[in-house]
Amino acid sequence: MGKAEKTRQFIIEKAAPIFNRKGVAGTSISDILEATKLAKGGIYGNFGSKEEIVMEVFDYITEEEKQRLRMVTATATTSAGKFEALFAHYARYPMNQAIAGGCPMLNFGVEADDTNPGLKKKVSELIIYFESRIAKMVQYGKENGEFRKDWDEKKFAIRMFTMLEGAILVTNVMNNNKQMLVVLDALREEIKRHSL
């Protein structure tokens, strides 16, 4: 990685928690300057606009989140084990966030909904990615004799994803994970009903 690429990466990594915590509209170039200790020319010499930084930051946060969740499930050898590893991970939310500031899909998605079509598209793609990962875990379990063949993995994936995202929102607002634990128990029950 050359000096320019290292500087770009440095800016992205410093800006990521700021955008995730303060939002796109709430984050100023001054915030990024303060976090990076760079001059304005150092920022604009690497990025054409704040919008470009936002898109790069979202891609960076997305990859960090994907990697973190892959690591959470990596040691489990069964689908049921992978689900349980995820549930144990979410039971400890928000202490185990990849990037400070909460769930990037919620943070960026709500803000981009009506104001930033490019960012909205990226958030939509990330939602589809995570739902497809859940569906694949169910499918793998069906193929390996863990789950009933008639379990609709796509519907479960939508349910699981939206229930977890809702629980993350409530956990952040309420400053406790009581609702998250109820959601996780409901998901465990559904998995148990479809287990062989």
* pLDDT confidence of residue 134: 98
pTM equals 0.90
Q: Which positions ≥6 away from 42 have C-beta within 8 Å?
A: 7, 11, 36
- Residue 30 resides in a domain: no
**Are the C-beta atoms of residues 140 and 81 closer than 8 Å to each other?**
no
CA–CA separation, 168 vs 101, rounded Å?
Answer: 12
pLDDT tens for residues 6-50?
Answer: 999 999 999 999 999 998 989 999 999 999 999 999 999 999 999
Q: Which positions ≥6 away from 163 have C-beta within 8 Å?
A: 183, 186, 187
CA–CA separation, 176 vs 22, rounded Å?
Answer: 21
| Average of per-residue pLDDT across 114-139 | 94
- Residue 130 resides in a domain: yes
- Residue 158 resides in a domain: yes
- Residue 14 resides in a domain: no
Confidence of residue 128 (pLDDT cuts 50, 70, 90): very high
- Residue 48 resides in a domain: no
Q: Which domain holds residue 114?
A: 54-193
**Are the C-beta atoms of residues 100 and 162 closer than 8 Å to each other?**
no
- Residue 34 resides in a domain: no
3-state secondary structure of 76: coil
What CATH number is given to the structural domain containing 188? 1.10.357.10
- Residue 81 resides in a domain: yes
pLDDT tens for residues 163-192?
Answer: 999 999 998 888 889 999 999 999 999 999
Report how many domains make up the chain: 1
- Residue 26 resides in a domain: no
